[in-house]
């Protein structure tokens, strides 16, 4: 008899607490003003052969007259209407009254993730992206959604500039213009390039840590070749001084081929 009475009392207390909590949560939801979430910007912190890291920033405004604990943000990131990744941030913490705070989180796109979009990337020179999700705070869910376009840089070879030359070594640079239409800098971890002649590779190199700013950037790729590997002697060089050169430029965001015939006879007179 006592056990039945105890179980009944416990059940009644549990139901009362659940009902009270639900009522309290509903009342708090009516009393608390929902924080506002506004998209600010997106930056790219890494562009490498093994992936790209994007950093979107949102601004959260607590327009209440009291501090408000913000739980986290859950999000999904899409490229060309295809969901690439989803996740949630760590706890954001308490936001003081009538205060706003910028929150930046990381979206890491691996090489495997981007593989399915590689052809579109190089064909269309742009990718449409969407970030959507929810801000979670004290039982409140505030959705947000932002869409924009990521432009792939345009690359143009503007010429070859010889620095110095002799029969054993020819040093020159390949001048390249890179046009970045995005509103943010693209940090290229590396640009790989090579030069060959008639199918034989003459030189390959890499430049690292390049900052491709908004607008036009000029990049010089230093190269060197050994003319004595192409000509038996200086006489044969002077008789036929033109070298057909083929350049290949590769980065995680663009590729470029370029052919150029270089007359080096004038440098040996």
Q: List, for residues 85-139, the tens digit of each pLDDT value.
A: 899 988 889 999 999 999 998 998 887 777 777 666 767 788 899 999 999 988 8
* Distances from the Cα of 252 to the Cα of 164, 220, 231, 247, angstroms: 31, 18, 36, 17
Q: What is the pLDDT of residue 17?
A: 43
Q: What is the pLDDT of residue 16?
A: 47
In whole angstroms, give the CA distance from residue 185 to residue 138.
Answer: 37
The answer to whether 235 and 202 have CB atoms below 8 angstroms apart is no
Q: What is the pLDDT of residue 158?
A: 93
Tokens standing for residue 143: 């959705």
In whole angstroms, give the CA distance from residue 135 to residue 250.
Answer: 40
Tokens standing for residue 61: 């405004």
Question: Where do you find CATH 2.60.40.10 in the chain?
Answer: 33-151, 154-268
Q: What is the pLDDT of residue 229?
A: 66
The burial class, CB within 10 Å (0-12 / 13-18 / 19+), for 109 is middle
- Looking at the domain that runs over 154-268, which CATH code has it been given? 2.60.40.10
Residuewise pLDDT in 10s, the chain (269 residues): 544 444 444 444 444 444 444 444 454 556 788 899 999 999 998 888 888 899 999 999 999 999 999 899 999 999 888 888 899 988 889 999 999 999 998 998 887 777 777 666 767 788 899 999 999 988 889 999 999 998 989 999 999 988 887 777 889 999 999 999 999 999 988 999 999 988 888 899 999 988 999 999 999 999 998 877 666 555 555 666 678 889 999 988 888 999 998 776 666 55
The answer to whether 190 and 238 have CB atoms below 8 angstroms apart is no
In whole angstroms, give the CA distance from residue 188 to residue 178.
Answer: 12
Bin 71: left if φ > 0, else alpha if -120 < ψ < 50, else beta. alpha
In whole angstroms, give the CA distance from residue 19 to residue 123.
Answer: 58
Segments in the chain forming alpha helices (H): 2-31, 111-115, 118-124, 234-239
- Looking at the domain that runs over 33-151, which CATH code has it been given? 2.60.40.10
């Amino acid at each position: 008899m006592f056990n039945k009475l105890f179980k009944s009392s416990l059940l009644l207390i549990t139901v009362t607490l659940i009902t009270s909590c639900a009522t309290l949560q509903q009342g708090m939801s009516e009393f608390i003003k929902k924080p506002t979430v506004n998209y600010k910007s997106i930056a790219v912190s890494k562009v490498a052969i093994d992936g790209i890291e994007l950093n979107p920033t949102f601004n959260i405004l607590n327009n209440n007259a009291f501090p408000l604990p913000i739980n986290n943000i859950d999000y999904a990131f899409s490229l060309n209407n295809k969901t690439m990744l989803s996740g949630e941030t760590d706890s954001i913490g308490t936001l003081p009254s009538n205060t706003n705070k910028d929150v930046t989180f990381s979206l890491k796109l691996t090489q495997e993730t981007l593989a399915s979009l590689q052809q579109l990337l190089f064909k269309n020179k742009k990718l449409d992206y969407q970030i959507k999700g929810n801000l979670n705070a004290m039982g409140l869910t505030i959705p947000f959604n932002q869409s924009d376009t990521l432009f792939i840089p345009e690359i143009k070879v503007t010429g070859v500039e010889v620095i110095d030359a002799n029969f054993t070594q020819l040093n020159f640079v390949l001048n390249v213009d890179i046009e970045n239409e995005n509103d943010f800098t693209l940090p290229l971890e590396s640009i790989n390039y090579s030069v060959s002649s008639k199918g034989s590779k003459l030189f390959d190199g890499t430049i690292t840590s390049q900052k491709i700013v908004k607008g036009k950037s000029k990049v010089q790729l230093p190269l060197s070749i050994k003319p004595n590997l192409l000509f038996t002697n200086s006489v044969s060089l002077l008789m036929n001084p033109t070298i057909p050169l083929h350049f290949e430029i590769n980065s995680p965001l663009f590729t470029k081929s370029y052919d150029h015939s270089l007359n080096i006879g004038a440098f040996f007179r």
